[in-house]
Amino acid sequence: MTMQRETVDVLTIGAGGGAYPAAFRLARAGLSVVMTDPKGVMSGNCLYEGCVPSKAIRETGEILESQRRFADLGLSGQVQVDYPRMVAHKDAIQARRYAQHAQELATCPNLQLIPGSARFIDPHTVAVATGEGERRFHCRHVIIASGADVFVPPIPGAEHCLTSHDLYKPDPVLKILPKRMVVIGGGYIGLETASFFAAFGTRVVLLQKGPQILSGMDPNMVATLLPLLSPNIEMILNADVERVEARGSQRRVYYRQGGAEQQAEGDVALMAVGRHPVIPAGTAEIGIEVGKHGIVVGPSLQTRFPHIYAAGDVNGQVPLFHAAVRQSLVAAHNILGGDRALDYADFHHVPTTIFTLPGAAYIGLTATQAAAQGMEVIAGAYDFSEDSRAQILEAMGGGIRLFFAPGSLRLLGGWIVGIDAGQLIGEIGLAVAKGLTAHDLAAFADQHPMSAEGIGKAARSIF
Ligand code: ADP
């Protein structure tokens, strides 16, 4: 007996950043759209356990660090760190945003969110396992936006470690402030988390497998950032974690460094060695190409089947929420164009921020990458030691670097370390993406006394 199929114009696998912007745009354009997600809510991992909840904790740390800098400058008295209440604040923000998303969904009659996990039956048929049994859909177009999940390596005792999921999901596992923490992994998630907890007074040991923290990122940016981080973080490089043991309430992490076995102990061990794409069942079986980093797509986001798109973390191109949102809209535009490539995602010009305290951010080509490609760049520089806002905030570490193409003086990329990094990369990012030159940046009256002033000054530094 063949199962009855419901027909929809578009089905999204997932309801996160790669899915819902397209779902709304297409539904508002008159198409019938179904989003599927086992969470039963919109926003994916970003709101559930990623960007938003981690920043709710981070911003509390930022306020605390500012308060410390002002302890002798007009703000006296010690602020008490109350981690359980920070967690309650984080949970409340998540709840507020879920309620807001439910309201948005209610305004869009052509769009349904079905709680359940989706799998491919054939290139036009998707089965969704719901609480009330399986539903099958005949779909004209599919957007695979199943995202990514925490990668837990097969290390003995890995189950004794927490992951970012346990820290940031609603009603998280970790609700009290650990005195000591071991972080396995010196990527941006591990370093950010180490930095927040260090601000709250936790002693953190961070174990990084290779020779560089934030491996793959610009070494000059990293070298500028690391000395500005809390002394409560001890960073151990070239540490190869071999096993984790639970000893009562303690976690002991054994690692090998230069041939010798060493150990680090904490109330909590965090596993933060990366994320991996979540590939829906049936994807490879129906003939969609899945590579090492995820589902293979070009800038039109189409898979081998022009009517099946893969947007967001699942394609492994730029695993960041804002990149997923843009890709989702590209997929929507190409669906509206009849599965022709009318719009393209720009994978090379997406801002990335490391939300440590203080943070760092970058976009495009840096001097080191240019050198590795045998290219020359002209570097513009501005240090926050001379910046009025940084001086007002008593946060003068770091600065802005901009990299221009010789001749055209087109801005190819840049980085910021220090105050407002995650905000400043917006202006620099737009300038890179739109091909502005050093002359354009130098001629724009960035506002005084704000940190964006430094962008114009960095551009003028090359003349
Ligand atoms: P992105 O930002 O790339 O959209 P996220 O990880 O934030 O990625 O969101 C992906 C969402 O997809 C998650 O909420 C996850 O629950 C959901 N998901 C994963 N696998 C499936 C599946 N097989 N069917 C439906 N939803 C899925």
pLDDT in tens, 255-289: 999 889 999 999 999 999 999 999 999 999 999 99
Residue 271 near residue 310, CB atoms below 8 Å: no
Centre of ligand 1 from the C-alpha of residue 158, in Å: 24
State yes or no: pLDDT of 235 exceeds 70.
yes
Percent of the chain with pLDDT over 90: 97
Query: Model confidence over 315-359: pLDDT tens digits?
Result: 999 999 999 999 999 999 999 999 999 999 999 999 999 999 999
Give pLDDT, residue 4.
82
Asked if the model's pLDDT at residue 139 lies above 60, the reply is: yes
| Centre of ligand 1 from the C-alpha of residue 41, in Å | 10
Q: What is the pLDDT of residue 2?
A: 57
pTM, 2 dp: 0.96
Mutate to test the pocket of ligand 1, among 12, 51, 146, 317 (most ligand atoms within 8 A of CB): 146
* Cα distance between residue 229 and residue 193, in whole Å: 12
pLDDT at 302 exceeding the cut of 90: yes
Distance of alpha carbon 59 from alpha carbon 358, whole angstroms: 11
- Residue whose Cα lies nearest atom 21 of ligand 1: it is 146
Phi, psi of 370 (to 5 degrees): -60, -45
**Under 8 Å between Cβ of 27 and 34:** no
Tokens standing for 14? 């997932």
Q: At 242, give phi and psi (nearest 5°).
A: -105, -40
Q: Read off the tokens for 45.
A: 């991992």
**Does the pLDDT of residue 77 top 90, yes or no?**
no
Q: How far away, in angstroms, is 24 Cα from ligand 1 center?
A: 16
Torsion 293-294-300-306 (CA) sign: positive
Average pLDDT over residues 214-235: 97
Report d(CA 86, CA 69) in Å as an integer. 21
Mean pLDDT of the chain: 97
| Burial of 361 from C-beta contacts in 10 A (0-12 / 13-18 / 19+) | buried
Atom 13 of ligand 1, nearest CA residue: 44
- Exposure class string for 218-230: b at 16+ Cβ within 10 A, else e: beebbebbbebbb
Q: Which residues contact 260 (CB under 8 A, 6 or more apart)?
A: none
Mean pLDDT over 11-35 rounds to 98
> Encoding tokens for residue 88?
């309650």
Residue 262 is predicted with a pLDDT of 97
Q: What is the pLDDT of residue 21?
A: 98
Is 171 within 8 Å of 38 (Cβ atoms)? no
- 76 pLDDT band, cuts 50/70/90, is confident
What's the pLDDT score for residue 372? 93
Dihedral sign, CA of 36, 346, 150, 180? negative
95, 170 contact by CB (below 8 A): yes
* Cβ 312 under 6 angstroms from ligand 1: yes
Decide: 321 in ligand 1 pocket, CB within 6 A.
yes
Helix (H, G, I), strand (E, B) or coil at 287: coil
Average pLDDT, integer, range 156-170: 98
Strands 378-383 and 308-310: unpaired
What one-character-per-residue DSSP string does 297-360 give?
Answer: --TT-B-SSTTEEE-GGGG-SS-SHHHHHHHHHHHHHHHHTTS-------TT---EEE-SSS-E
Q: What is the DSSP string of 25-38?
A: HHHHTT--EEEEET
What average pLDDT score do residues 196-201 get?
Answer: 98
pLDDT of residue 350: 96
Task: Supply the pLDDT for residue 78.
Answer: 83
Cβ pair 202, 180 in contact under 8 A: yes
Q: What is the mean pLDDT of residues 185-195?
A: 97
Cβ 30 vs Cβ 161: under 8 Å: no
What are 386-432's pLDDT values in tens digits? Answer: 999 999 999 999 999 999 999 999 999 999 999 999 999 999 999 99
Q: What's the 145 CA to ligand 1 centre distance in angstroms?
A: 6
Give me Rg for the CA atoms of the chain: 23
Question: Which pLDDT band holds residue 169 (cuts at 50, 70, 90)?
Answer: very high
In this structure, how many other beta carbons lie within 10 angstroms of the beta carbon of residue 95?
A: 11
| SS3 state at 116 | coil
**Residue 108 CB burial class (10 angstroms; 0-12, 13-18, ≥19):** middle
Q: Which of 349, 290, 352, 300 is nearest to 327 (CA)?
A: 300
Say if ligand 1 is within 6 A of residue 21 CB. no
* Nearest CA among 174, 188, 191, 238 for reference residue 212: 238
